[in-house]
Amino acid sequence: MLTRQDTEAGLRRRMLGLLTGAWTTQAIRTAVELGLVDALADGVRPARDAAERIAADPGATERLLLFLAGLGVVEPLPDGYALTPLGALLRTGIPGSARQLALLYGDEFHRSWHELPYAVRTGQEGFAKVFGEPAFDYMTERPDMAERFAGAMAFGDVFFESLTAAHDFRGVRSVLDVGGGDGALLASLLTQCRWLRGVVVDQPHVSELCGTRMSEAGVADRFAFVGADFFTDPLPPGCDVHVLSRILHDWDDDRCVALLSACADALAPGGVVLVVERPLPEEPHGSQDGTVDLATAWDLHMLVNTSSGRERTPREYERLFVRAGLEPAGRATLPLDMEVLAARPVAATGEAGGEE
């Protein structure tokens, strides 16, 4: 039977785990940045050998490895240390690597999160306070940062392959990926659906990344890139499906409605808009086991790192649809707590692919 002291000790231990969360991020970032993860990619390696390979202090390297072992990132073995399947996600050059995510969360976003008190007090973006300009402007002016951000986003691309199961693309001829970045989502759709043609609309500075992605996927002959600002420039008309993946959560309600309205106007007759987001729960709920709710965590992330972004509940997205002249047309779940929410113009009478 647990005593009151046992219960309080457990609570204090859990609180220590919460308060040292930033240490976890920095340990993983360091292992990636110094090349320790890649040094272990080819098998078991003693700490001293790994340290020599990355030109680091042997004793300090072993201390880092011991901490990473406690996280389940590496496994201590009689002959040294090896990556676990979890740690292998951090390797360089693998599809959907978490490497760039670790670097971004351990550096720029780590610094911006330091201004969470400012963001909560004022409702203003913490990133801009730290770096002197909004996050999207900062990335646009720095190609290396834009590439890092695209690489970080790729870690969540696991749900792309599930999109064709969540929505029936049979009968769809063309897809417009609004704010499609490096084109990963569209490349996945074009690979799975060989009859599709697609267009990515995004800022001109990502065109080279996008073109490279399409060439690597072998679908460059069925793809076009349009460099544009999707708020001020007209969207290419006539596509059967518009996809907005992780876009609306970056913006306030009015801008979301403006973008959704532009989609409704540019759609082919009978077309559909697919919004891919991580919705908030309709009712707040606590956590009994300390598991992080991804949607509420990312909602706070939007507060810190965008000027007006936020996560929304499914009902809130449906209200945006109605304001934009669209009507909800189904929902389906995706991996990583993502969902696809479909909407069609209210006056639509034709069909472009099946329902969820």
| Same domain, residue pair 260 and 147 | no
In a shared domain, residues 146 and 268: no
Which residue is catalytic, options 114, 249, 285, 301? Answer: 249
Predicted local distance difference test score (pLDDT) of residue 140: 82
pLDDT along the chain (356 residues), means of 10: 76 92 97 98 96 98 98 97 98 93 96 98 96 91 84 83 92 96 93 97 91 94 96 96 97 98 97 97 75 90 95 98 97 94 79 46
Sheet holding 267-277, edge to edge: 223-227, 197-202, 174-178, 239-245, 267-277, 339-345, 326-333
pTM of the full structure: 0.88
- Residue ranges in the chain assigned as alpha helix (H): 4-19, 21-33, 36-39, 47-53, 58-71, 85-88, 99-106, 108-113, 116-122, 126-131, 135-140, 143-154, 163-166, 184-192, 207-217, 253-266, 294-305, 314-323
350 lies in some domain: no
In this structure, the answer to whether residues 118 and 18 fall within a common structural domain is no
Q: Does 330 share its domain with 188?
A: yes
Are both 168 and 74 inside the same structural domain? Answer: no
Output the six-digit token pair for 137: 């402007």
Range of the domain at 212: 156-345
Burial status of residue 4 (CB atoms within 10 A of its CB: 0-12, 13-18, 19 or more): exposed
CATH number at residue 209: 3.40.50.150
Place of tokens 């670097």: 103
Q: Are 329 and 355 in contact (CB under 8 A)?
A: yes
- Please say if 249 is a catalytic residue: yes
Instruction: Give, for 74, the enclosing helix (H) or strand (E).
Output: strand 74-77
355 within a domain of the structure (yes/no): no
Cβ contact 137:165 at 8 Å: no
Beta bridge partners of 274: 243, 342
- The sign of the CA dihedral 318, 249, 202, 158 is negative
Q: Are residues 55 and 108 in the same domain?
A: no
Domain total in the chain: 3
